[in-house]
Amino acid sequence: MRIALFVTCFNDTLYPGTGKAVVTLLERLGHEVVFPAEQTCCGQMHYNTGYDRECGPLVKDFVKTFQPFDAIVVPSASCAGMIRENHVRVARTVGDRGLAEEADRLGPRVHELTELLVDVLGVEDVGAYFPHRVTYHPTCHSLRALGVGDRPLRLLRAVRGIDLVELPDAAECCGFGGTFALKNPDVSAAMGADKVARIRQTGAEVVCAADNSCLAHLGGLLSRLRTGVRTLHLAEILAATE
């Protein structure tokens, strides 16, 4: 299958390893990955912070760039959620009815990584090997906006050598929240501290998730506290082999 990768601006700049892992993983599974060079950002930060007008052109660019593709993979649940749930809304708000229709048609072809693997490609065992103690944090957008359910866990359980441990109170927000982390730094840190305590309770070496943005917040706290626990996008676990 020919799959277009929307790597997201955040991963492109800060976590290129996640994009590389998606390429490695999908190619290993026998698929062709293309990277449309015109891509930039889905507009989530602008939309969520209340900048609809600035978000409009980003939605337009995204739709134009990815329209030619049948399947688009996004290694970020919050960006995938933004595209599927909110692009049509933004197009309507800025009064572009044509764009709203195009975005509406494009939406169903956009898949978060675990959705693509389980629903579109029909795999749960991706042939990965990762001999570490790992806990999985279901990010709010993967859980409540996209509803990816237990797809990530099904994929992780099939990884050979993994010691997957359950995270207590997993469904509770980590406190990142995009610009919330800067606008309400105290509450953000307080929420993060409690999430870190839960992570430490598991004894995991690695905490993984479907969003590097939440992991940047958690990783920043874990690193500041010198916990020795590291964060990893689950794509990187699924891409790992012996």
Q: Which residues bind other proteins (CB under 8 A)?
A: 7, 9, 11-16, 19-20, 23, 35, 37-41, 43, 45-52, 54-55, 57-58, 61, 93, 140-141, 143-145, 171-173, 175-192, 216-217, 219-221, 223-224
Shortest Cβ 124–other proteins spacing (Å): 26
Of 11, 36, 14, 9, residue with least CA distance to 22:
11
Of 169, 172, 25, 143, residue with least CA distance to 80:
143
* Bridge partners for 133 per DSSP: 163
Shortest Cβ 57–other proteins spacing (Å): 6
A 10 A CB-CB count for 101 gives 13
Separation of alpha carbons 153 and 159, rounded Å: 10
The residue to which tokens 């806990």 are assigned: 135
Question: Cβ(79)–Cβ(44) under 8 Å?
Answer: yes
- Residue nearer to other proteins on the CB measure, 123 or 219: 219
Shortest Cβ 50–other proteins spacing (Å): 3
- Residue nearer to other proteins on the CB measure, 18 or 162: 18
- Residue nearer to other proteins on the CB measure, 152 or 177: 177
List of residues 6+ apart from 228 with CB closer than 8 A: 205
Separation of alpha carbons 189 and 192, rounded Å: 5
- Residue nearer to other proteins on the CB measure, 48 or 67: 48
Shortest Cβ 91–other proteins spacing (Å): 14
- Residue nearer to other proteins on the CB measure, 120 or 173: 173
- Residue nearer to other proteins on the CB measure, 7 or 162: 7
Shortest Cβ 97–other proteins spacing (Å): 17
Shortest Cβ 217–other proteins spacing (Å): 6
List of residues 6+ apart from 222 with CB closer than 8 A: 196, 199, 207, 229, 230, 231
Helices (H), the chain: 9-14, 16-28, 44-49, 52-66, 77-81, 87-93, 97-106, 113-115, 140, 151-157, 180-183, 185-202, 212-224, 234-239
Shortest Cβ 234–other proteins spacing (Å): 17
- Residue nearer to other proteins on the CB measure, 29 or 48: 48
